[in-house]
Structure 1
Amino acid sequence: MDFRIGFGYDVHQLQQGLPFWLGGVQIEHTKGSLGHSDGDALIHAICDAMLGAANLGDIGVHFPDTDPSLKGIDSKILLRKTMDIIAQIGYTIGNIDSTICLQRPKVKDYIPKMQAELAKALDVEPQQISIKATTTEKLGFVGREEGVTAYAVVLLRKN
């Protein structure tokens, strides 16, 4: 099979006083993502999509939250390690399409920097990475600013 498609989803609770990392970029906000790592929901969704496309489980299988060595880790490191896993079985990234759901803050001005950071970690071109952002129109936990969600679809190509 020359092409594989994977879907990823992640959610993190937002809490006052934590740093907010999204797409490998620190976002200015009063709240940040609670997580075992740095809580970067977008990167975690992309990792899950990559691993799913390769039928290799999910991020929790490869980087469990029970591993003390991963406490507070920069999610770009997890993304790079996921890319290494994918490369070992002969695949590269074709493209990534992703969506961030977040009521506040608005992140559209951060998207080009996120694309650049993700591209650097994955050794691809920024134009291979689509990032969109939306709100939930104040509905649900995202609308109440209690959390952030991210979705990603990844196309892998056989080398």
Structure 2
Amino acid sequence: MSYEYRSGLGWDSHRTASGRALILGGVTIPSEFGLDGHSDADILLHAITDALLGAAALGDIGMHFSDTDPRWKGAESMQFLLHAKSLLAEKGFELVHLDTTVILEKPKLKDFRTAIRENIAKHLGLSLELVSVKFKTAEKVGPVGEGRSAEAQAVVTVRRKVPEYAGV
């Protein structure tokens, strides 16, 4: 059996905003601020969604869920992720590995790593060992370091079966 392997890269950034929930990987994090956005502004799920779409050359999250469409106002980002997963499955791809990084000055996120990993793994149908979630600060440099924004990055590896060459 032969496989075609592909990688996808995703990135997202949102401004911080008081009066909003901080949601990462579908998990609400206790915080004095959240992230501003048309949907729930879950930068981690947005980055993963873009990585999945990119791996299959299916565009980006904005092509599928416009931030000007009122249907997506306040929407849970998990539905974006599940849509991307479904599109990949239609193309015959399966997710092999996911590696992510959240860049946020505060709050500290280490106590939420397991819950975030478990939630993402559950929704993507992956074992926990295939989902990596890392947390970094920006060392007080730039908009993230100054607490004005947050970022997330994701890299995925996907594969699909390809027919064996039968020869002539």
What range describes the TM-score normalised by the shorter chain of this pair? Answer: over 0.9
In structure 1, the partner of 2:165 is none
Pick aligned residue for 2:70 from 52, 58, 68:
68
| Structure 1 residue 126: Cα displacement | 1.7
| Structure 1 residue 67: Cα displacement | 1.5
Rounded to whole Å, the distance in 2 between the matches of 1:72 and 1:82 is 19
Rounded to whole Å, the distance in 1 between the matches of 2:84 and 2:63 is 11
- Output the TM-score relative to the length of structure 1: 0.97
Over aligned residues, Cα RMSD in angstroms? 0.9
| 1:55 and 2:36 matched | no
Identity of aligned pairs, percent?
Answer: 42
Pick aligned residue for 1:79 from 81, 92, 97:
81
- Paired letter, 1:95: H
Which aligned runs of 4 or more in structure 1 are off by greater than 4 angstroms? none
| 1:105 and 2:107 matched | yes
Query: Structure 2 unaligned runs (5+)?
Result: 162-168
Superposed CA offset, 1:22-45 (max 9, x none) = 111001101101111100001000
Q: Matched residue of 1:2: which SS?
A: strand
Rounded to whole Å, the distance in 2 between the matches of 1:52 and 1:115 is 21
In structure 2, the partner of 1:32 is 34
- Paired letter, 2:91: I
In structure 2, the partner of 1:151 is 153
In structure 2, the partner of 1:46 is 48
From the CA coordinates, give the structure whose radius of gyration is larger: 2
Superposed CA offset, 1:99-130 (max 9, x none) = 11000001111011001111111111121110
| Structure 1 residue 77: Cα displacement | 1.3
Aligned residues: 159
In structure 2, the partner of 1:12 is 14
- Output the TM-score relative to the length of structure 2: 0.92
Rounded to whole Å, the distance in 2 between the matches of 1:121 and 1:12 is 23
| 1:132 and 2:127 matched | no
Rounded to whole Å, the distance in 2 between the matches of 1:127 and 1:66 is 37
Q: Matched residue of 2:14: which SS?
A: strand
